[in-house]
Structure 1
Amino acid sequence: MSEVTAPAGTDISPPPQRAVRAAYASALSATVGFIPLHAVWALGIPLWADKDKFRDWYAEGGGPYLLVLSGLALLGGVLALSLVRSWGLVFPRWVPLMAGRRVPPRMLAGTAFAVSVFLLLYTVWAAIQTVVQWNDDSVFSSWITIYGIPQFLVWAIGLLIAARSYRRRTTRGL
């Protein structure tokens, strides 16, 4: 992990190790934790699913839906890392029209907080739905939430910790 450097003319301190670990845990949960299983399903493989129900669900657009969710998870991983990397302070040169400009700290922190809250609310909803609907009537095995709920908690809480650190480091004096 390279050191985060602040834009010229600013005095932004590097993120504490706790925030860096939280951001990387969040990014890994979003990508390595979420994408592989959803990619398997997006490819039409009914792993831990009722084959007949999966076939119908997949035919009704399940594959493209999961590809979109996987893309959003990838963006979630980039968001988490941007909170502790230099490209969360200054847009990198490969970003059209924005290269070299300072990233608006409130926009980035606000986005991270909003995504974290959404993920936490979704996790609570999923846990409740799992308890209420624990049966064999769904497309996917109810046991998948035993994996999914902790994974979403790591994603959300890691993002929250990294966002809080980022906000503290970048919004002083703004």
Structure 2
Amino acid sequence: MEKKERMITLNVTSTLMKKEAKTNRNGWPSWIGYAAMIWSVLYGGLHLYWLLGGSGYPFGNDGMGLFAAMVTYLPAQVGGIIFVTLCLMGIGIGLVMQRPQYNSFSRRFAFAYSWGFSLALLLFIPDTRLIAAMAYAFLFKFDFNWQMLNQIICIIGALFWMMAAVVYQRKARHACEYCGRNDDGETSPWIRWGRWLTMIAVLAPIPYAFVRFTWALDIPLGVDPQFLRDFSTANPMARLTEWVFGSVCIIGSLLTLGLIQKWGEVFPRWFPFIGGKRVPIMLAVIPASIVAIAVTAAGFVFTFGIIATSLHLGPIDNILHSQGWGAMGPMIFWVPWGVALGLAAIAYYYRRRGRCSRCRRG
């Protein structure tokens, strides 16, 4: 009898070990570093192709003036050399990040590269087209081109490198690669700051929505009245556009509030079919993250354009020069909006995540 029980215990243990080994092989921390390296190989090769004279170079100003992506200010040859160099560095640094030893210099350099490259891909590559496409989709107007696809590819690369940096950082401090927890049981700082971050993300889009609503009511807040008349003449759906854009911001603010409210964790009971059920974490995190990236990137471009124009660092944009704060002023809040929304989504995730399936902490 005792021998039989021992055999059962061994079988159960063996099954659990096999399951854990399979989880270790298939979990995202095991492959995210390789994904970042593969992305660097492919995107670096693409830039090498453009550098050698290939067609399809995506970083053109296209008449967007100060509101084009930052990378468009670089000559094509210079931009190509920079990208090829950074991607080659990424391959080497990615290999370093796979090593179990953590030399102090190499660790810091890997952190600096991973986060720096990620932020550059998020802030210097996208322009205002992504957020515009998302907004006009609510008017059933869909526009997509190669430049926008390239921006999405760069955002994906940025996310790969960010996640690889997170895993590497967790390894370096001997924490669980999957959840980041260690034996000290310390609460994540994102949870402590989550409420404040969420409130910033809720309030930041309101100035933009308010201006749009006043324009929809034919009140030329912050702009020349002739500007509204010309806009309405050029666009028969101008009033509807203003109502939709303003409403999208307000609805987004209300949904953002759900990141710190009970109804953001459990569907209200009056919801058909799903009332009373728990809200899937990723149902909130993924949309919030997508909007956060698009808003932050566009806000960075707008803010740079406004500052550059104010300091006469570039040609005076007609809209900025003639229409004053009403046309572009509310976009100053977009960077805080996007950053706060992204961090609030992270705080929501950390607050709601359960016990880690890998380390059993939590």
TM-score, normalised via structure 2 length = 0.40
Q: Structure 1 residue 55 and structure 2 residue 237: aligned?
A: no
Q: Structure 1 residue 43 and structure 2 residue 225: aligned?
A: no
Counterparts of 2:200 and 2:346, CA distance in 1 = 15
Deviates more, 1:107-116 or 1:148-157: 148-157
Matched with 1:28 is 203
Q: State the AA in 2 paired with 1:35.
A: A
Matched with 1:100 is 276
Question: Given the superposition, is the C-alpha separation of residues 53 and 37 from structure 1 closer, same or farther in structure 2, using an over 3 Å criterion?
Answer: closer
TM-score, normalised via structure 1 length = 0.78
Matched with 1:153 is 335
8 A contact 2:266–2:278 mirrored in 1: yes
Question: Given the superposition, is the C-alpha separation of residues 21 and 137 from structure 1 closer, same or farther in structure 2, using an over 3 Å criterion?
Answer: closer
Counterparts of 2:315 and 2:244, CA distance in 1 = 26
1:91 to 267, 270, 276: 267
Question: Given the superposition, is the C-alpha separation of residues 126 and 112 from structure 1 closer, same or farther in structure 2, using an over 3 Å criterion?
Answer: same
What are the ranges of 5 or more consecutive residues in structure 2 without an aligned counterpart?
1-189, 358-362
Over the matched positions of the two proteins, sequence identity in percent amounts to 23
What are the ranges of 5 or more consecutive residues in structure 1 without an aligned counterpart?
1-14
2:295 to 108, 115, 119: 119
3-state SS of paired residue (1:100): coil
Q: Bigger relative contact order, structure 1 or 2, given CA contacts below 8 A and separation 6+?
A: 1
8 A contact 1:79–1:112 mirrored in 2: no
Q: State the AA in 1 paired with 2:214.
A: V
8 A contact 1:23–1:84 mirrored in 2: yes
Q: State the AA in 1 paired with 2:193.
A: R
Counterparts of 2:322 and 2:265, CA distance in 1 = 41
Q: State the AA in 2 paired with 1:66.
A: E
Matched with 2:160 is none
Matched with 2:241 is 65
> How many matched pairs?
160
8 A contact 2:195–2:260 mirrored in 1: yes
Counterparts of 2:204 and 2:295, CA distance in 1 = 12
- Deviation of the 1:43 alpha carbon: 0.8
- Pick the structure with greater CA Rg: 2
8 A contact 1:120–1:156 mirrored in 2: yes
Alpha-carbon RMSD: 2.7
Matched with 2:84 is none
Counterparts of 1:117 and 1:135, CA distance in 2 = 25
More helix by share: 2
8 A contact 1:50–1:139 mirrored in 2: no
